[in-house]
Amino acid sequence: MIKPFLEVGQIVGTHGVRGEVRFQAWCDSPEFLKQFKTLYFDEEGLRAVDILSCRPHGNIVLLYLEGIDDLESAIAQKGKVLFIDRNDADLPPGSYFISELIGCHVYDADDPSISYGKLEDVSRTGANDVWHIRGADGKEYLIPAISDVLVSTDVEKGLIKIRPLKGIFDDTN
């Protein structure tokens, strides 16, 4: 399901004494955040904050946010999750955020009457993502998110069609 505001990471600490915060980005790369001018403190987009400075620093991002200009106000932000407006994100066609994929129903690409369950989680392994599908039987099935398996994704309709590798769901695939 397409969501207008998406979680993008969490403030995990401070950097220096002038209000800069250490931000753990939950995206493919800390560089992704550099395209945004505004973040939000809520998933409704009601509490906006302008980004004055954004710079990757190892596996985190150092953010200087408007109105957070001293150590005390930066400390008060620790633990807060920040959101982006999806309309501000420049994504290639056919790309989705993990949070939009979660909850999609997974069906067989060749026989739509076969439902494998719902996408429950995504693990980032490096080589390829692994999708966690919870079947109607309550079991968790792991499928590689590779082009040989994924046939189509329609997050607006909440549907994913796959052609599973043999043995993932049963021995007859």
The CATH number covering residue 104 comes to: 2.30.30.240
Do 119 and 133 contact (CB within 8 A), yes or no? Answer: yes
Mean pLDDT for the stretch of residues 58-62: 89
Tell me the residue type at 54.
Answer: C
At residue 166, does pLDDT exceed 90? Answer: no
Beta strand 105-108 pairing with 159-162: parallel
| Co-location of 132 and 84 in the same domain | no
- With pLDDT > 90 as the criterion, what percentage of the chain qualifies? 64
Tell me the residue type at 58.
Answer: G
The CATH number covering residue 61 comes to: 2.40.30.60
Number of domains observed in the structure of the chain: 2
| Of 1 and 45, more confident | 45
| Co-location of 84 and 103 in the same domain | no
**How confident is the prediction for the chain on average, in pLDDT?**
90
Measure the CA–CA gap between 15 and 65, rounded to whole angstroms. Answer: 12
Question: Would you state the pLDDT for residue 146?
Answer: 93
Confidence of residue 173 (pLDDT cuts 50, 70, 90): very low
